[in-house]
């Protein structure tokens, strides 16, 4: 009877940015026993044994190979791709979040200790994670830095960042009292980028448009966030979504007590001749609590019922989503400029 080859199985758990717990214990031989386990970690190092803890000395993507040998001498190899990265600490390694971002490379994690950081941060196009060590323990408050006379938001994404650029766990505020406010997105300003924003609280942000979040041509994901007490003097007290072909996803967020002339909580509109581009990615608002937002009225609109306290949807636009809760928005929960929608 021809012997059957063994089956190699890798169980891999990442226990730190550069450390992996590995096991070949679930490997088996259909007609015999496993007699040997050989590991190749993809960085020139190898080892023998069924269980293994391995720490990489460098950041990068590596291919781990496990070769199992059975009692008939037959061998089988299984592969696992892993990512090792550096964890940068603020302020231990760098005094500011921005300095840490400048030093980081794709795949790194910046872990920010509790405290208030008065600065304007820019992800610089990097696929990195910037997170609070403890959710809600670190605050980013927009500083007074200005470009061409205009104040900057607390956080900017404008270098084609994708969803691997992650901001997580912060309280985010606009410039302090007595400071000039940005034109758009005092908390987070996104333009031509699609980052991930998770578990953040945006509060006390004021801008002309998109008080807390301004997202232009962005398929960003905003998830499990709280946006409250933010103001836009024109559109989108909480969030402004604007674009032609791609729009954000808001999932499981609380949008409360924000105000604007139009779209107290959220304002959506297109720049593409009052219609969405063909095959546009629609805005998604799903599982959100939208409450106590207020729109005072846009003087450019003749009909007051087109002013949405919770959500206002501009001409030619629409959005997808389910499971949203609307409460006490003034003058109404949702208003569409296209009355047939």
Q: What is the per-residue pLDDT across 152-211, written as a single tens digit (0 to 9) for each?
A: 899 999 999 999 999 999 999 988 666 677 889 999 999 999 999 999 999 999 999 999
CATH code, residues 87-336: 2.160.20
Q: Give yes or no for residue 301 having a pLDDT over 60.
A: no
Q: Per-residue pLDDT tens for 312-333?
A: 998 888 899 999 999 999 999 9
Rounded distance between C-alpha atoms, residue 148 and residue 297, angstroms: 31
Q: What is the rounded average pLDDT for all residues in the chain?
A: 91
Give me 138's structure tokens: 């670190």
3-state class (DSSP) for residue 230:
coil
Dump pLDDT digits (tens) for 148-159: 667 889 999 999
DSSP string, 27-49: -B-TTS-EEEEEEE-SSS-EEES
User: Is the predicted pLDDT of residue 36 greater than 90, yes or no?
Assistant: yes
User: Reduced to 3 states, what is the DSSP secondary structure of residue 60?
Assistant: strand
Q: How many CB atoms lie within 10 A of CB 102?
A: 12
Q: Is the pLDDT of residue 46 over 50?
A: yes
- pTM of the shown model: 0.79
Residue 273: pLDDT above 70?
A: no
Tens digits of residue pLDDT in 106-136? 889 999 999 999 999 999 999 999 999 999 9
Q: Which of 113, 151, 112 is nearest to 128 (CA)?
A: 112
- How many whole angstroms separate alpha carbon 271 and alpha carbon 263? 17
Nearest to 111 by CA among 85, 91, 125: 91
Residue spans per domain, the chain: 11-84, 87-336
At residue 245, the pLDDT reads 87
- Residues 11-84: name the CATH superfamily: Immunoglobulins (2.60.40.10)
237-268 confidence digits (pLDDT tens)? 999 999 988 899 999 999 999 999 999 999 99
Q: Closest Cα partner for 153 from 130, 126, 119, 177?
A: 119
State the pLDDT at residue 302: 44
Find, among 151, 205, 199, 147, the residue nearest to 174 by Cα: 205
Alpha helices in the chain (DSSP H): 97-103
Q: What is the pLDDT of residue 118?
A: 94
Tokens of 209: 């448009």
pLDDT band for position 98 (cuts 50, 70, 90): very high
Written as six digits, the tokens of 134 are 């403890």
Cis peptide before 91 (omega within 30 of 0): yes
Determine the Cα–Cα distance for residues 156 and 108; give it in Å rounded to an integer. 18
Cβ distance 158 to 191 under 8 Å? yes
């Amino acid at each position: 009877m021809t012997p059957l080859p063994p089956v190699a199985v890798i169980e891999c758990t990442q226990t730190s940015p550069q450390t992996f717990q590995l096991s070949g214990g679930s490997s088996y031989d259909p007609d015999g026993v496993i007699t040997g386990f050989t590991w190749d970690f993809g960085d020139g190092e190898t080892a023998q044994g069924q269980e293994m803890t391995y720490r990489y000395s460098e950041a990068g993507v590596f291919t781990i190979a496990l070769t199992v040998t059975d009692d008939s001498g037959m061998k089988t190899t299984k592969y696992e791709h892993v990512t090792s990265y550096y964890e940068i600490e603020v302020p231990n390694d760098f005094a500011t979040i921005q300095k840490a971002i400048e030093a980081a490379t794709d795949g790194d994690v910046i872990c920010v200790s509790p405290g208030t950081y008065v600065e304007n941060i820019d992800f610089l196009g990097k696929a990195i994670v910037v997170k609070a060590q403890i959710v809600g323990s670190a605050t980013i408050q927009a500083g007074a830095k200005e470009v061409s006379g205009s104040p900057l938001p607390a956080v900017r994404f404008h270098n084609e960042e994708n969803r691997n650029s992650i901001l997580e766990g912060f309280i985010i505020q606009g410039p302090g009292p007595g400071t000039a406010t940005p034109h758009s997105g005092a908390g987070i300003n996104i333009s031509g980028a699609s980052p991930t924003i998770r578990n953040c609280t945006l509060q006390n942000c004021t801008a002309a448009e998109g008080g807390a979040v301004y997202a232009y041509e962005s398929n960003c994901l905003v998830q499990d966030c709280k946006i409250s007490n933010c103001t836009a003097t024109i559109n989108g007290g909480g969030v402004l979504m604007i674009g032609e072909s791609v729009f954000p996803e808001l999932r499981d967020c609380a949008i409360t007590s924000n105000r604007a002339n139009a779209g107290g909580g959220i304002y959506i509109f297109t720049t593409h001749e009052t219609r969405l581009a063909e095959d546009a990615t629609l805005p998604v608002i799903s599982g959100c609590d939208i409450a106590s937002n207020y729109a005072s009225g846009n003087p450019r609109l003749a009909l007051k019922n087109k002013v949405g306290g919770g959500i206002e949807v501009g001409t030619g636009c629409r959005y997808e989503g389910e499971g949203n809760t609307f409460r006490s928005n003034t003058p109404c929960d949702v208003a569409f400029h296209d009355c047939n929608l």
